[in-house]
Chain A
């Protein structure tokens, strides 16, 4: 599903060189829920940018659902983000003054999809917010806004859901709610990569990858137990079938 082969990202500022990611290898199977953890400066954000096709690696190969995306140009990356990646950000990043439904429709707007409203409503239903479709972001609670953002991430049925500190701005009950939602989505067969520094959120993942100084220093099964490769694809798995 996701495969990183010795990915490096080097930033140059003047004479100094910072290796934000140093020859990272990582494979994530379909339907996995993987948490990537690490202190600040460990390369988490760079990892997120590269996994999310927001930035290109300096070297190495990145296969996403079988496509090598490490050498694509801006517009092709935009299409990859549109079709294969669903983003969930810490700050929700919903468009202000735009209804929940319109926000969820946004990726479909750039996908030339004709049945936008139907699909967007289905996605909102999946996160349990179909009754809030016409509310504006500022009329929703933080947890609800994040669920709208998750619906937006799901609407194009992407290969991977990429959540960057999705609970960073939420209180503990809303955080738990979002964590549960991510677990449920993963159990429904979606591949979820969760970037966080909160241990209790990471705990709900079945696999935890730890980063430090741009390298992977740990790759363990999460507290909720269960073998990582074991419960990949449930039979009813949609994204798994798509990627297969």
Chain B
């Protein structure tokens, strides 16, 4: 019996029980479609996240105060302007572009009796470069404003929404109250989707009017010349800081150095696990579909015991019977797989179209690999779950099979 003939016999078998075959295919179809769609969703989310983190700047290094380690003195030294100075001096080393201190606070902004509490960042004119931000309107404050503790502020998108109803041009030049002082809005930041509920002012103004006059800072952002220079720059920053804080024992290091690149890697890991998790769920539904195939094939073999007996009586070898039922289960799973691919691809494309118009939702990204994988797996399921029933059919003794009612 050639493959073509075996296929025809199998096809006739499937057509004899159309509804049953369709329902079994449905099980595989749902599994395959789910695998394709969920991989696409995972990829889309991952890509969106990577893009957002990359937009933060992958050449940036942050220095923070340590949470866990305790210095030998028992008192952790805060990060101060002196640290910033030391790093800026070291920045003669060609890998460092800028060193930016940030002092954080929280305060209520008020304009014409519409208050809004937001995060305050006191920083220098390098803030834009250090956080990969761009201006939507106006201009950022200048070096001179930092020296004079000028009461000027640059607003993020959220405060503009809340205070000025989203009219950026309307915000520009307005005087708003922050704490007990009046500040002039000199610019509006372009939103980046991550840190838009913010107001940025000169670090000196933040210290003088909002958080007190110490010279300590919460964060120092070091801008490396490129992503490739990040590891070397991190080492350099660590050396300078260890030196500044007179630390020899690394377990007593009272500061931490992180890069966005690390963050990117961490997030990539998280999204990979997330995608894997989704795919595992989809794989379970494929497995259930496979069990459905096996179930139906066992029923089919039992129902057609007599037919098997006849075929064996007229000279079908074991392999011929095995082939017939294996092809039947593979065709069953394969057609389910093809329809599943069509549905999965269709839903992913639909999702991508909708996702492009709905901002919050990361559009699914189809990958050829997932389509090929899902279809191949469906064929393998047909083979794997069909093997036992087909083998059972092949092993039937002709006298028993012929006598079966």
Q: Which residues of A contact B (CB under 8 A)?
A: 49, 52, 54-55, 74-75, 78-79, 81-83, 87, 89, 93-95, 97-98, 106-107, 109-112, 152, 156
Contacts of A106 in B (CB 8 A): 310-311, 314
User: B336 contacts the other chain (Cβ, under 8 Å)?
Assistant: no
Residues A75 and B313 in contact, CB atoms below 8 Å apart: no
Q: Which residue of A lies closest to B316 (CB)?
A: A110
**How many angstroms between the C-alpha atoms of A83 and B316 in the bound complex?**
11
- Within the complex, the shortest CB–CB distance from A86 to chain B, in Å, comes to 8
Chain B, residues 298-328, CB within 8 Å of chain A (1/0): the string is 0000000011011111111111100000000
Q: Is the contact region of chain B dominated by helix, strand, or loop, or is it mixed?
A: helix
Residues B399 and A55 in contact, CB atoms below 8 Å apart: yes
Interface range on chain B: under 10, 10 to 19, 20 to 34, or 35 or more? 20 to 34
Residues B315 and A81 in contact, CB atoms below 8 Å apart: yes
Residues A93 and B315 in contact, CB atoms below 8 Å apart: no
Contacts of B16 in A (CB 8 A): 97
Q: Which residue of B lies closest to A152 (CB)?
A: B314
A-B contact pairs, 24 of them (CB 8 A): A54-B313, A54-B402, A74-B318, A78-B316, A78-B317, A81-B312, A82-B315, A82-B316, A83-B315, A87-B314, A89-B402, A93-B309, A93-B402, A95-B307, A97-B12, A97-B16, A106-B311, A106-B314, A107-B314, A109-B1, A110-B1, A110-B315, A111-B315, A152-B314
Contacts of A152 in B (CB 8 A): 314
Residues B313 and A52 in contact, CB atoms below 8 Å apart: yes
Q: Which of B313-367 contact A (CB under 8 A)?
A: 313-320
Contact of A93 among B313, B317, B319, B397 (CB under 8 A): B313
Contacts of B92 in A (CB 8 A): none
Q: Which residues of B contact A (CB under 8 A)?
A: 1, 5, 12, 16, 306-307, 309-320, 397-399, 402
- Within the complex, the shortest CB–CB distance from A77 to chain B, in Å, comes to 9
Contacts of A89 in B (CB 8 A): 402
- Within the complex, the shortest CB–CB distance from A179 to chain B, in Å, comes to 22
Q: Which residue of A lies closest to B5 (CB)?
A: A109
Contacts of A109 in B (CB 8 A): 1, 5
Apart from A79-B315, A106-B310, list 5 A-B contacts with CB within 8 A.
A81-B315, A82-B315, A93-B310, A107-B314, A112-B1
